[in-house]
């Protein structure tokens, strides 16, 4: 029999063997299995620039505060259309080089928002660059660090053709100085924009585990919950650029407070912009299309919120208008 109290050799050997066996079972074999997953058909590899951006993302330690996993519970549904799957990480989680392993993208803290689908939520280059230079220029309450070393100050006369600059007013540049984004900043933005949850057209995606339906308070009036839903939707989808004050960001994103389009009695232009996106004015960043992301009811709630706040005062949008516009757009396409 083993006399572990007196036999140091067997004691150490036994604890070594049991630990190794357990480790193989609980770590190494499952790891090999997880490695075998293949990409979803049609899913694209990262471009060179996006891959460089991923390396910046890792070396700046973004994973300390940002997760990239949509868990299969309903509270995570705000971060993506479906729970994340092993295949989603096929291209991004490969060994980086001899020195560095596969990046730990899933993360363990959500001090900042989940970034699985940030490319869909926020496709504007201009927004990302401003946000990286100083997050508080676009999100007032943000506690994210400024990554100002990804930008350089140059004289306006030295700007080359393909240089990407930041608006001068809001970044408080004096004289003829202007901020130009470095290569790393552009790569990082390319990577962030590439973060879009791949939609599965043929296969059935995994479902969220639903939360139990909540009892809706009897006292709560319909109009109250409607307007708070509008505020919350606006906060989630629009406030990053147009700000929760509706004032926008000067030189980057137009204000909605007092806007002629928003206050127009005929809401058609407003609804069209929300559905299709907008890139008509050079001095402002590009706005994405929301047709695929918001339902007619949600668009109505947002439009009503915009038309009744910050001094705006325009009648509510009938839902039929939105449905009609959406139909006409899809016919054209």
Nearest Cα to Cα of residue 150 among 165, 175, 133: 133
Site string for other proteins, 48-77 (x = CB under 8 A): ----------xxxxxxxx-x-x-xxx-xx-
Least distance from other proteins to the Cβ atom of residue 306, Å: 16
Task: Please give the Cα distance from 217 to 224 (Å, whole number).
Answer: 12
Contact partners, residue 90, CB within 8 Å, separation at least 6: 37, 38, 39, 43
Task: Please give the Cα distance from 69 to 79 (Å, whole number).
Answer: 8
Judged by beta carbon, residue 102 or residue 266, the one nearer other proteins is: 102
Task: Please give the Cα distance from 70 to 73 (Å, whole number).
Answer: 8
Q: Does residue 199 interact with other proteins by CB under 8 A?
A: no
Among the residue ranges 159-167, 187-195, 202-210, 297-305, the one whose residues contact other proteins (CB under 8 A)? 202-210
Interacting positions 206-265 with other proteins (CB under 8 A): 207, 209-212, 214, 232, 235-236, 239
Size of the site for other proteins (CB under 8 A): 88
Judged by beta carbon, residue 5 or residue 160, the one nearer other proteins is: 5
Least distance from other proteins to the Cβ atom of residue 332, Å: 33
Interface pick for other proteins out of 1, 48, 99, 204 (rule CB under 8 A): 99
153's enclosing H/E stretch is strand 151-155
Contact partners, residue 330, CB within 8 Å, separation at least 6: none
Judged by beta carbon, residue 85 or residue 325, the one nearer other proteins is: 85
Q: Which residues pair with residue 154 across a beta bridge?
A: 178
Q: Does residue 182 interact with other proteins by CB under 8 A?
A: no
Radius of gyration for the alpha carbons in the chain, expressed in angstroms and rounded:
25
Backbone angles phi, psi at 148, to 5 degrees: -70, -20
Judged by beta carbon, residue 100 or residue 152, the one nearer other proteins is: 100
Interface pick for other proteins out of 2, 41, 149, 269 (rule CB under 8 A): 149
Interacting positions 16-45 with other proteins (CB under 8 A): 16, 18-20, 22-23, 26-28, 30-35, 37
Least distance from other proteins to the Cβ atom of residue 329, Å: 28
Do residues 241 and 248 make contact, with C-beta atoms less than 8 angstroms apart? yes
Q: Which residues pair with residue 287 across a beta bridge?
A: 278
């Amino acid at each position: 029999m083993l006399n572990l109290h007196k036999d140091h050799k067997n004691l150490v050997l036994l604890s070594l063997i049991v630990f190794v066996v357990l480790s193989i079972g609980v770590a190494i074999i499952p790891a090999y299995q997880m490695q075998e997953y293949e990409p979803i058909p049609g899913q694209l590899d990262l471009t060179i620039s996006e891959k460089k951006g991923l390396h910046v993302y890792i070396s700046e330690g973004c994973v300390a505060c940002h997760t990239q996993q949509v868990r299969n519970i309903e509270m995570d549904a705000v971060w993506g259309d479906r729970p994340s799957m092993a295949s989603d990480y096929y291209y991004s989680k490969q060994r980086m080089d001899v020195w560095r392993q596969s990046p730990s993208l899933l993360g363990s803290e959500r001090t900042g928002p989940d970034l699985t689908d940030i490319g869909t939520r926020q496709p504007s280059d201009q927004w990302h660059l401003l946000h990286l230079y100083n997050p508080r220029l676009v999100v007032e309450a943000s506690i994210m660090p400024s990554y100002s070393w990804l930008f350089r100050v140059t004289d306006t006369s030295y700007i080359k053709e393909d240089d990407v600059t930041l608006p001068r007013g809001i970044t408080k540049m004096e004289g003829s100085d202007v901020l130009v984004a470095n290569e790393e900043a552009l790569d990082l933005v390319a990577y962030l924009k590439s973060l879009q949850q791949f939609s599965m057209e043929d296969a059935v995606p995994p479902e969220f585990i639903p939360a139990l339906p909540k009892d809706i308070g009897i006292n709560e009036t319909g109009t109250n919950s409607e307007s708070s839903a509008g505020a919350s939707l606006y906060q989630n989808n629009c406030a990053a650029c147009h700000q929760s004050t509706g004032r926008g960001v000067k030189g980057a994103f137009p204000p909605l407070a007092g806007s002629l389009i928003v206050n127009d009695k005929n809401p058609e232009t407003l609804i069209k912009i929300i559905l299709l996106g907008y890139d008509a004015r050079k001095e402002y960043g590009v706005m994405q299309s929301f047709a695929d992301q918001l339902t007619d009811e949600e668009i109505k709630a947002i439009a009503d919120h915009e038309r009744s706040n910050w001094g705006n005062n325009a009648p509510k949008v009938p839902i039929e208008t939105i449905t009609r516009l959406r139909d006409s757009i899809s016919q054209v396409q």
